Structure 1
Amino acid sequence: MVRSRVATIGVAAVLLAACGGNGAEAPKQKTELTLYNDKGAWSEYFEQMGALSKQSVGLSMKPTGYTDSAQYQAFIKASFRTNVKPDLFTWQTGGMLAEIVKQKQVADTTAIWQEAVANGDLPQDLAPYFTVDGKQYCVPLNVAYWGMFYNKKIFDEHGLRPPETWDDLVKIADTLKQKDVKAFYHTSVLFSFVWFEQLMAGMDPDLYDRLSTGQAKYTDPGVVAVMRKWKELIDAGYFINPGDKTDPGDVLKNGKAAMVSFGTWFNTSMTQREMKAGEDYGFFVIPNVDASLPKTSMIFESGPLCSLAEAPDPAASAKYLKWWTTAEAQEKWATARGDVSANPKVEIADEALGQVTKDAGSGEYRLVNRYFEATPPPILTAALDGFSKFVTDTSTLQEVLETIQKEADEYWSTHQ
């Protein structure tokens, strides 16, 4: 009788263990993770990473890419309240990251950062972009240094070479104008901020920093001067139509514009179009407008790869983020896209991009946080709308700045 009871108890214990002790089946550790992202054009590269991670750490990864930024952000924020939760997702640093961290929606990755920095897989200089209230969140999906991609055949045809000064760049634009070639690409959607940030960083980077923290106003004389410089370039006829829907990669390849200003991630657009670096296109750092500045300002960005605080399988997500920072993963990621890497151990094949990566880490340039991340979300929304209006009608200069400042006043009145 005693033996029978012992056997019954043993069977019950096994059943309880199998059911997780509460009548529910114990969750199985995931072997495939979902990665929701706002980089739909990169799906093939994410798939390559998923195949490698399956071999390396037993975790495959399936990407789901969005191409509309607003729709994507709405989906991720909705996942905070629903059961449709991504294992991994891409986001933005700066105010957008701080916003969802303060809502306690993002997994803490401080331990991953500490180990990666100690191993030399991540530079300590990157940590502040992923730090909120002293802790790190997410890991670098990518890093990018901004400059100018140019159509080398157009430059060669007109005897042009990369500029060393701002005046050189304007002379190039003027020469191209005389040859009936548009010098620069710009757009009225999403990336409408590009020339604002570049001109401000090259004219007064200290003002740029103060503006992003509410210590300066959009109506201040220095900001007005930046807008007037921008107006001068647009009114001179150096830019293509900002409403042109042609993909910027095609704009550069087809010669619709001779130059496109973007981050080093744009190199992927060139490789996707089978363009060869040094033969079909090149890359240069944009000179400061103000030549007296001690260092050349270079726009910098780093996009985060994140996990939810309440991810479907927190351990699996953390394991993937840890692997993502390794040299093995980063070499594959950089090589596949033809881009730079957050991991200092990775050698960059493209000579121009490799050099700018080394120079950026040497202190030669003043790294300036990209406007999209440096600006609080409510102000950013107003600014993107304002800049979009400005590039289509430069007479709205003062109206645009006043409208953005109104939003900034409202935001900073309740935020330090």
Structure 2
Amino acid sequence: MFVRARVLTALVAAASLALTACGGDSGDDSGSSGTKTELKLYNDKGAWSPFFEELGKLSKEQIGVSMSPVGYTDEPTYSAFIKASFRTNNKPDLFTWSTGGRLEEIVEAGQVAETTDLWKEAVAAGDLSKELEATYTYSGKQYCVPLNISYWVMFYNKKVLDQNGIQPPTTWADLMSAADKLKAKGIKPFYHTSVLFSFVWFQQLLIGTDPDLYNKLATGEAKYTDPGVVAVMERWKKMIDDGYFSDAGSKEDPAVQLKTGKTAMGIFGTWFNTSMTQQGLKPGSDYGMFVIPNVDPAKTKNTVAFESGPLCSLAKAPDDKASMNYMKWWVQQPAQEKWANSRGDVSANPKVTIPDPGLATIAKAAGGGEYTLANRYFEAAPAPVLTAALDAFGAFMVDPGSYLKQLQNIQKAADEYWKGR
């Protein structure tokens, strides 16, 4: 099941061939100015293609440059594809990635274009916040721009909770009580998966118990074998043993699981709102979302995981000027109004109004300092540690009794990474 490392070479080779066949090379799409008038945006968000296409039409109207998406739905294949493009003459005009260790990796390799001037202008214009800038800063310079921002909250099937007399919990004890009620009715309380998002419950349990320990793991100041981390895994194991989770190996769309009521709740970024509306569900009447209460009741300020996915250009893009101008347009209010509201999500641009009251409440509270924000684990963990952790958490879900072995495996990767740093 966990063979990603062993097939990476094959994926890279396949990606190289795919680039030759359908890569983002410049073709004859240049305007009289010599800059491209059509850009291809490679991404690992294939389900978002209709929304990318809408932005492509809007950019054609507003800046004379269209954009067409090339979407993938399998993240390992997509990552291999992009990394293969670094070594070929066929390169994407724009591409999505993730911040944290994975972005730092390609910045250090000199593969991604610097956007320091763009950030300076956008912050001055009020289109991006100074607080968000740190997420895109490496060695004092900025790279890429925000594709999206999201807060990780609990989505729930409103009818299922209402029918069982459950209100959105405000304490961890209430959340566990709700889980017991749902389980008694034959409903799986929580969604989880052993593929890619295997880190989600580890992240939530740790930030809700000891956010300082969570942050220290990301910087190598703490170990995955420390007692506080072990205690989190033991809590997670007990929840699995108690039957609180859906089948971690299921291939069924989580939005479908929530829609049908097979599963009552699931932790996702606010971007999951798009998946719910695509199922024909209406926010407020069919489903809702709430900030997950801390595990430790002594910590009265809830900690919320936060992510910001980047939109990037290569350092040697087919037309670096066109790509940079597109990213500059992307962060401005007209583009962000269309992008955020068409998907039903929050925006990195503070000027954008959010019509969904549930999202607006969460975004306002997060922006107003009501929550402690923690960088999502996928970005917080250094890339080699993340790779080991995703496999380890997935293996743990298959065999919960192996949690100590899995923590030791992650720590081995962490020791190797932090050695000499």
Is TM (by shorter chain) over 0.5?
yes
| Distance (whole Å) between structure 2 residues aligned to residue 242 and residue 81 of structure 1 | 36
- Equivalent in 26, 31, 37 of residue 31 of structure 1: 37
Q: Are 2:46 and 1:40 aligned?
A: yes
- Equivalent in 95, 98, 104 of residue 98 of structure 1: 104
1:129 partner amino acid: T
Q: Are 2:203 and 1:197 aligned?
A: yes
Q: Are 2:227 and 1:182 aligned?
A: no
- Equivalent in 128, 149, 157 of residue 151 of structure 1: 157
| Distance (whole Å) between structure 1 residues aligned to residue 168 and residue 313 of structure 2 | 41
| Distance (whole Å) between structure 1 residues aligned to residue 413 and residue 129 of structure 2 | 35
- Equivalent in 327, 337, 340 of residue 331 of structure 1: 337
Matches within 5 A, 1:63-82: 63-82=69-88
| Distance (whole Å) between structure 2 residues aligned to residue 189 and residue 81 of structure 1 | 28
What SS is found at the alignment partner of 1:183?
strand
2:289: which partner in 1? 283
Displacement of 1:28 in angstroms is 2.5
Runs of 4+ in 1 over 4 A off after TM superposition: none
Partner deviation per Cα, 1:216-275 (whole Å, 9 max, x = no partner): 100000000110111111111111111111111101101110001100000000111110
What SS is found at the alignment partner of 1:345?
coil
1:311 partner amino acid: A
1:49: which partner in 2? 55
What SS is found at the alignment partner of 2:34?
coil
Partner deviation per Cα, 1:375-400 (whole Å, 9 max, x = no partner): 01111111111100111211101111
| Distance (whole Å) between structure 2 residues aligned to residue 304 and residue 213 of structure 1 | 21
| Distance (whole Å) between structure 2 residues aligned to residue 115 and residue 344 of structure 1 | 15
Displacement of 1:27 in angstroms is 8.6
1:137: which partner in 2? 143
1:260 partner amino acid: G
| Distance (whole Å) between structure 1 residues aligned to residue 300 and residue 183 of structure 2 | 31
2:352: which partner in 1? 346
Q: Are 2:315 and 1:309 aligned?
A: yes
| Distance (whole Å) between structure 2 residues aligned to residue 359 and residue 27 of structure 1 | 46
- Segments of 5+ residues of structure 1 without an aligned counterpart are 1-25
Q: Are 2:362 and 1:361 aligned?
A: no
| Distance (whole Å) between structure 2 residues aligned to residue 255 and residue 177 of structure 1 | 12
**What's the C-alpha RMSD, in Å, of the aligned pairs?**
1.0
| Distance (whole Å) between structure 2 residues aligned to residue 115 and residue 171 of structure 1 | 50
**TM-score normalised to structure 2 length:** 0.92
1:356 partner amino acid: I
| Distance (whole Å) between structure 2 residues aligned to residue 107 and residue 397 of structure 1 | 40
1:372: which partner in 2? 378
| Distance (whole Å) between structure 2 residues aligned to residue 401 and residue 314 of structure 1 | 43
1:405: which partner in 2? 411
| Distance (whole Å) between structure 1 residues aligned to residue 247 and residue 331 of structure 2 | 40
Partner deviation per Cα, 1:55-74 (whole Å, 9 max, x = no partner): 00111001101111111111
| Distance (whole Å) between structure 2 residues aligned to residue 339 and residue 178 of structure 1 | 34
State the structure with more CA Rg. 1
| Distance (whole Å) between structure 1 residues aligned to residue 303 and residue 289 of structure 2 | 16
| Distance (whole Å) between structure 2 residues aligned to residue 291 and residue 330 of structure 1 | 37
| Distance (whole Å) between structure 2 residues aligned to residue 150 and residue 310 of structure 1 | 44
| Distance (whole Å) between structure 2 residues aligned to residue 286 and residue 392 of structure 1 | 25
2:166 partner amino acid: L
Q: May I ask how many residue pairs the two structures share in their alignment?
A: 390
Displacement of 1:294 in angstroms is 4.5
- Segments of 5+ residues of structure 2 without an aligned counterpart are 1-31
Displacement of 1:166 in angstroms is 0.4
